[in-house]
Amino acid sequence: MVVKQKLTFFLRNLGKGLAWVLVILAVVFGLKKLNIFDYETFLLPLYDKPLLIYMTFFVSEVVVGIIPPEFFMLWALHNHSFTQYMAIVTLLATISYLAGVIAYMAGRYLSSYKIFRYLRRRFLKKLERLFYQYGMPLIIVSALTPLPFSGTSLLVGSSRYPLNKYLLYSLSRYLRFVLYAYIVWKTSVTIS
């Protein structure tokens, strides 16, 4: 029964994640096709500022993923071959992974402070409940779905979860980026 619950939790959140990326792409490419909004024109001033983009993405990922990674994947599409695009996406995945590690370490360090425990109960209550209910699978689910990976990493670190296990399970973050990037690429090629 427990395995079935964890699998259901995983599949439900994976479905939400795929639905989310498809909605984003439908809106972005639909607006472009209808000549209402062209994301490429909007992003034009940013194409020659990759450092700014990478720094913005890093901050977003550390601060509980304010900007969805899919928007950065759209930026990465500009005038690149599939190989170049996937190299940029791999860099984005690495930034996201490292941001998660930083959040884990911050959680581990800050867990002894009363203010952190208060903030954890206040803002991470739902994730905390999920972590105690599902354990390690929550790390994988948050790495693959829209559940906040950074928030989960912070919580996992504050729970003194073993670092080596966290690092291993968090590698699934790369799978999300590769899968979603492929969907973004195929959608852009199909629409263009």
In the chain, where are the structural domains located?
2-191
Question: pTM surpassing 0.85?
Answer: yes
Nearest Cα neighbor of 43 from 78, 86, 10 is 78
Between the alpha carbon of residue 49 and those of residues 34, 45, 108, 171, 172, the distances in Å are 28, 8, 34, 28, 28
- Amino acid 192: pLDDT: 66
Q: What are 25-60's pLDDT values in tens digits?
A: 888 888 878 888 777 787 788 888 999 999 999 999
**Is the per-residue pLDDT at 12 higher than 70?**
yes
Q: What is the dihedral of CA 126, 147, 93, 109, to 10 degrees?
A: 0
**Is the per-residue pLDDT at 124 higher than 80?**
yes
Within 13 Å, how many C-alpha atoms sit on residue 150's CB side? 22
**Token digits for 136?**
């390690």
